[in-house]
Chain A
């Protein structure tokens, strides 16, 4: 029996996914866009409201479930993937989504994250990455850039940040993507693709915290510069970017380099062609590594999307197989099994 989430044509609108609770994020927060894109996309994914569950941890991002009219579980700091895994394994017909942040998932919940990816539990994880601890009022996070001045690092952070997509790929996640709060259409597409994917789907969403880390992604979102700084990954297409679409990414050994397509030395044929379905994650890893790399664009889109059996399916299959082999468990027989003896 396949662990199947029932899908059908449903007549929902975005409004049907809004709960009766007032949204309490700060005005101007990037989280509003994420909520809007999820509510806009969900009518299309064909899953009944009652079969959807949003699970979260702690942080601004983790208030997300309260604002969706689906089932929701606001957990404790970092543990959302573990709570969601238990729910999904116990109840595989549910479509289980995780809303989390860079502190919640990369720091206190790092262990649960890598193991969820490794096991390929069929969860959809949306990580709102604002590169700051917002709800605790502005400490640097595991994705903050080195040297960042915050309340807890008044002289600048001496830490190195995680690149979440690299971490996900390194944990062998079967679906890894990135999008930006200011790119609603792109985000909707990523959410839709994640919904379609069977297995752990991780979407890193660059999200602006206009209170504690305003402008963290300006170079990726401002009209005049973003096209030169962002590479939008498209399956089967060469990696071209730039305002004039005059730049491309080429591999020099294992190193990605940016080349000018108008310099007379390079052509589109030289460029790396994106294959998100490559079973081998090495190229996806190389692409992820371009993130925040001087002289290279930051990639958004799907880095990797491969199919492999899910953990929850494995558990279901094993149970069915053993029941087929041994028959359904008989409690009386188990109680009286082993070396027994009679006392008259």
Chain B
């Protein structure tokens, strides 16, 4: 073997890497392994998986390209990065699609083997960009990833097809070398994952190591990079995605209040992972019911809530639409359920694998009759954990349905999370009603919550349903005054939840020219934009809403302290509509509907434009 070549190590503060290839190339796996290892070495990080709706689109095509972007840093970061510094392109289509985003002077690592006439033609290249001058503004490293993988695996009993499949591990190994990361976390992952397929475990291990050693031995690379650990608050961390955090959040909620957890759900992108995670927590007594459709998902949850469970249903926009009528039933029967909507691009089937925030008004108003519900929104992947607990707490305390909005970006994206200890989490009580003396199903406590009398309790046999309820007795009532009263009462109950909602805290000056206000999953982009704008000398304040209905008590006062309010959101102005209606305040909208999160520069430019500066560029 050639002698080891000494290579210099350059320190970087932050790097954005994008892996791209065919949807069958294992790009998401490669990206998430790189993320986990990067988290493991202590960098702050943020990820953006971006994949097509097709599972295995025809190889080499532009529409089959799957991407995974990862931003990691030795300082605090909030977004997956605006423009990648490094692009790993497993084929010409991946290069074609992603090149426009790459930073000028950025690094391209291309799988040279795949740049053959057929793939070049599929990607629409007239000539091979690795050989002509078209990539002159970039540092291009052409690596024969496929043939080097095949060479490294020549002794395995695997078929050619299986061997080729390991090439993403070669690429991963090479990236580990380039960015000075250890192989151990991925090696141990391979051993667990392919425990029952030792040949595949062995092949992936060899490919990973071959990629790493290739970086070390080859003369192509003259330098490698290092990103020092970030200075995060002390504690134990792990890298967590929003969907996993949501799932664990509900398990935690169930443990904290001592009620069994029931999930009724129908598979839908990008929410299915919550169903997958919760289905694995059987030893917490979690009951998961993969229902025959979205309606059965929520209907079964309502049945379980009637039976005394902490009951939830998980879905995405089209599923929320299907759950509309049943949500009204939960409003009428005043049963505690949590409905999670992992928002995706709409309308209709829309962009199933892409992110958007366009279900806010559906969550607020999308029901027949006056049917207010509590609406919450998680703001980052790890925040999903806390908001799942918060949603459960509110649903149980007030006996009502709560909609928790997340989105495809924070659901699939991940970030390092300082793991809380169980004793740091808020315990909350919820007991069933069991006093048969003068029991009235719709008599209320001080929070306007009705008693939760669970079947099986002697003496409390009662009937509820979707017909209007008489106040107190809960009997069917068509009385006009009663209906008027009950509609107002249900609205008042939702409004009362404001007492449990923390006041909004302004980041930056409490009075001023411009307040940037966001909600849900745009928090990272907005925070980064505001931070950069301040660095550029602008004075700007920021608030972020996680409670959409009701909104925090002091919000009106906070808004009144600013001359201008900018609301960036991934829709055509849904929060803006609510703010105008609620506070009679006009706002400046910044809207984007590209299936992708905001780049911080997009928001920063808008801030500069409003404040008359030009330093946001």
Where the two chains meet, the residues of A that have a C-beta atom closer than 8 Å to any C-beta of B are: 19, 21, 48-51, 53, 55-56, 58, 65-66, 68-76, 79, 82-91, 93-94, 111-112, 115, 315, 318-319, 322-323, 325-329, 331-332, 334-336, 338-344
* B303 lies within 8 A of A336 (CB): no
Known contacts being A83-B302, A339-B40, is A72 close to B462, with CB within 8 Å?
yes
B185 closest partner in A (C-beta): A339
Which of A115, A322, A336 is close to B282, meaning CB atoms less than 8 Å apart?
A322
Known contacts being A73-B303, A90-B307, is A79 close to B295, with CB within 8 Å?
yes
The answer for the CA separation of A21 and B264 in the assembled complex, in Å, is 33
Flag whether B235 is at the interface (Cβ < 8 A): yes
Q: Interface majority SS on B: helix, strand, loop or mixed?
A: mixed
Known contacts being A90-B303, A327-B283, is A51 close to B238, with CB within 8 Å?
no
* B234 lies within 8 A of A343 (CB): yes
* A343 lies within 8 A of B237 (CB): yes
Pick from B237, B326, B420, B455 the residue with the most CB of A within 10 Å. Answer: B455
* B287 lies within 8 A of A319 (CB): yes
6 pairs, A vs B, C-beta closer than 8 Å: A65-B465, A86-B262, A86-B289, A322-B282, A339-B185, A341-B40
* A19 lies within 8 A of B463 (CB): yes
Smallest CB separation, B462 vs chain A (Å) = 7
* A341 lies within 8 A of B238 (CB): yes
Q: Which residues of A contact B300 (CB under 8 A)?
A: 82-83, 85-86, 89
Q: List B residues 270-286 near A (Cβ within 8 Å).
A: 281-285
Flag whether B398 is at the interface (Cβ < 8 A): no
Smallest CB separation, B309 vs chain A (Å) = 4
* B291 lies within 8 A of A91 (CB): no
Q: List B residues 289-333 near A (Cβ within 8 Å).
A: 289, 291-293, 295-296, 299-304, 306-309, 311, 325-326, 329, 333
Flag whether B537 is at the interface (Cβ < 8 A): no
* A115 lies within 8 A of B292 (CB): yes
Q: Which residues of B contact A56 (CB under 8 A)?
A: 465
Known contacts being A332-B422, A343-B235, is A87 close to B303, with CB within 8 Å?
yes
* B292 lies within 8 A of A112 (CB): yes
* B238 lies within 8 A of A90 (CB): no
* B461 lies within 8 A of A315 (CB): no
Smallest CB separation, B69 vs chain A (Å) = 20
Known contacts being A73-B465, A86-B289, A318-B282, is A338 close to B458, with CB within 8 Å?
no
Known contacts being A75-B329, A329-B281, A343-B237, is A49 close to B299, with CB within 8 Å?
no
Known contacts being A86-B303, A327-B283, A340-B419, is A71 close to B236, with CB within 8 Å?
no
B237 closest partner in A (C-beta): A341
A56 closest partner in B (C-beta): B465
Smallest CB separation, B453 vs chain A (Å) = 8
Flag whether B459 is at the interface (Cβ < 8 A): yes
Smallest CB separation, B608 vs chain A (Å) = 35
The answer for the CA separation of A76 and B475 in the assembled complex, in Å, is 17
The answer for the CA separation of A1 and B455 in the assembled complex, in Å, is 21
* B455 lies within 8 A of A91 (CB): yes
The answer for the CA separation of A85 and B283 in the assembled complex, in Å, is 21
* B303 lies within 8 A of A55 (CB): yes
* A334 lies within 8 A of B251 (CB): yes
Q: Which residues of B contact A91 (CB under 8 A)?
A: 304, 307-309, 454-456
Known contacts being A87-B306, A90-B309, A342-B236, is A48 close to B419, with CB within 8 Å?
no
Smallest CB separation, B437 vs chain A (Å) = 15
Q: Which residues of B contact A50 (CB under 8 A)?
A: 455-461
- Interface residues contributed by chain B, number (CB under 8 Å): 70
* A329 lies within 8 A of B304 (CB): no
Q: Which residues of B contact A335 (CB under 8 A)?
A: 248, 252, 419-422
* B292 lies within 8 A of A79 (CB): no
The answer for the CA separation of A83 and B303 in the assembled complex, in Å, is 4
Smallest CB separation, B37 vs chain A (Å) = 8
Flag whether B42 is at the interface (Cβ < 8 A): yes
A79 closest partner in B (C-beta): B299
* A323 lies within 8 A of B296 (CB): no
Which of A71, A86, A315 is close to B302, meaning CB atoms less than 8 Å apart?
A86
* B239 lies within 8 A of A339 (CB): yes
The answer for the CA separation of A183 and B30 in the assembled complex, in Å, is 68
* A75 lies within 8 A of B466 (CB): yes
B264 closest partner in A (C-beta): A86
* A343 lies within 8 A of B232 (CB): yes
Pick from A49, A328, A338 the residue with the most CB of B within 10 Å. Answer: A338
Flag whether B395 is at the interface (Cβ < 8 A): no
* A49 lies within 8 A of B296 (CB): no
Q: Which residues of A contact B299 (CB under 8 A)?
A: 75-76, 79, 82-83, 86, 112
The answer for the CA separation of A94 and B454 in the assembled complex, in Å, is 11
* B236 lies within 8 A of A76 (CB): no
B284 closest partner in A (C-beta): A329
The answer for the CA separation of A231 and B220 in the assembled complex, in Å, is 87
The answer for the CA separation of A319 and B260 in the assembled complex, in Å, is 12
